[in-house]
Structure 1
């Protein structure tokens, strides 16, 4: 058994936003370093913690966590669509182990994933079916949220199973950091928005394009300082990255949903994927961060981070 980790921000604006050339170069270099790290590690199995943005999970049924026994990418924001190579038997064994650790884990035999899960696979492997992948959905947009302590314990339960496998396992956490994109909130949503939040599966091409254009337009306004969304919070982001790198994740237990939204934006809850991934890595023993990148990038509406780490075993 050996474990490695890549955590990275994602953004639907990677191919649509236009940050300064030096910022784009820095992001590309961070991605290239992560690819080199993964190529050297050469994983035989990938476990991906990722959120969803009302493309696969909706308020008709919104679990805090869910393991996919099969998964299909919806292809939003020009990301790759189609099936992932999910080893159903290993996904089932993982789900049973997590349940046996007293963590309530939902399962899906027909999971749908969006850019949040797809972008890291495209960036690191060039596609969604290059390696066997077990996808784990972590709710990062829809209230109510489970506690960060519970997220940490879930990640530890996943890691306690992975450490027993005769595999080279790459754990991915996708999301964050501080950001507040124009995702509707149930409490303030219009009737039409609530219909989408309740079950907006498989929209028409025109409806998806209109929804995506709203995000692109907001990013352009935000970069000009004109959008009515919360500012990025580099200090909050850097503190969170420090915690991830420290090996002691328990201080995240004190982060509450209200404080996270106030300090870092409504979609800062996506850092739950990072917490779960680092907790899974830490469950196998001490780890070492091998690379850390961070930039606040308004054009992506994100405090944008990339970290890689290796377990000691």
Structure 2
């Protein structure tokens, strides 16, 4: 917990950054007991904290947002979660007054955010919300989408800045606010979620542009194929026949050290090209963590971040970390 005293300036806050990799759902908990023990402790604290609002920073994987229009930031006004691999379907309880005020606050401060009144989110949001909330509509939620899937992605500096501004907005609410950062550390995703110019076939390219509204690949088939691939990958990871060579332990630890060092401006000089080279396309998801931490720190600058868990040696095919603030 960040601040235990409710004041007239702002309420209490809580922060947790966790992975959303589909394999946490595909695999049984016994495969990674140490990870789940720490995760469950964060959930226990979250429920004890009992937030009045949850602000979650997540991303999409060509399920709800496609290349026909790829915004860098979206503040959801009305949203539904899809039934994708690793995700949990259902409607999010987004308080309209808070969501519209958040978007207006950002625009008035020169953040040209997009808004959506028909937002569809996938496991990049629903996986984390499910584990913390149970039912997706159990708590009021404000979803903030950050593009980490497609070129060009927002700078790490801009992710820090928008996170901090959302934290300032949250201060005006005088509520107990939980900030959740949803994503993995180093991992490779470009063979699953290609760029426009690297799509292996015209069929895949048509899908990632249109989301199944043209061409022969429907969204249902896209999501089903990913589910089949994840089941296969999980089996290979569990039986030891596949090793996720793309995990970069040194880079993961460098990132975690920088994230918890107290000065997020260190990320202002980080480049997309360097992160892609060192941590894979999945490593782009650190943007969600940077934004969430920036929001929590601006909400209460007394927050202290702790790395609760890190391992490059799980069966989840990502560098797995858990960070929280109290």
Q: Give the alignment's TM-score, normalised by structure 2.
A: 0.88
Say yes or no: does 1:183 pair with 2:193. Answer: yes
Q: Which residue of 2 aligns with 1:267?
A: 282
Say yes or no: does 1:64 pair with 2:72. Answer: yes
The question of whether the paired residues in 1 share the 8 Å contact of 2:63 and 2:223 is answered with no
- Separation in 2 of the partners of 1:97 and 1:180? 35
The equivalent position to 2:257 in structure 1, one of 228, 242, 262, is 242
SS at match of 1:214: helix
Structure 1 residues 88 and 143 mapped into 2: Cα distance closer, same or farther (>3 Å)? same
List runs of 5+ in structure 1 lacking aligned partners. none
- Separation in 2 of the partners of 1:14 and 1:140? 20
Q: For residues 1-313 of structure 1, what are the structure 2 equivalents within 5 Å?
A: 1-17=11-27, 21=30, 24-77=32-85, 79-181=87-189, 182-189=192-199, 190-200=201-211, 203=218, 205-221=220-236, 224=240, 226=242, 231-284=246-299, 285-290=301-306, 292-297=308-313, 299-310=315-326
Please state how far the C-alpha of 1:252 moved relative to its aligned partner: 0.9
- Separation in 2 of the partners of 1:100 and 1:307? 31
The question of whether the paired residues in 2 share the 8 Å contact of 1:2 and 1:163 is answered with no
- Separation in 1 of the partners of 2:219 and 2:188? 25
SS at match of 1:271: helix
Q: Give the alignment's TM-score, normalised by structure 1.
A: 0.92
The question of whether the paired residues in 1 share the 8 Å contact of 2:26 and 2:86 is answered with no
Please state how far the C-alpha of 1:204 moved relative to its aligned partner: 5.7
Q: Which residue of 1 aligns with 2:6?
A: none
Please state how far the C-alpha of 1:146 moved relative to its aligned partner: 1.6
SS at match of 2:322: strand
- Separation in 1 of the partners of 2:219 and 2:297? 42
- Separation in 1 of the partners of 2:186 and 2:309? 14
- Separation in 2 of the partners of 1:226 and 1:42? 41
Please state how far the C-alpha of 1:211 moved relative to its aligned partner: 2.6
Q: What's the C-alpha RMSD, in Å, of the aligned pairs? A: 2.0
Worse overlay, 301-310 or 88-97: 301-310
- Separation in 1 of the partners of 2:320 and 2:222? 28
Please state how far the C-alpha of 1:15 moved relative to its aligned partner: 2.7
List runs of 5+ in structure 2 lacking aligned partners. 1-10
- Separation in 2 of the partners of 1:146 and 1:290? 26
The question of whether the paired residues in 2 share the 8 Å contact of 1:56 and 1:201 is answered with no
Q: Comparing both structures, which one devotes a greater share of its residues to strand? A: 1
Please state how far the C-alpha of 1:105 moved relative to its aligned partner: 0.9
- Separation in 1 of the partners of 2:315 and 2:212? 27
Worse overlay, 209-218 or 70-79: 209-218
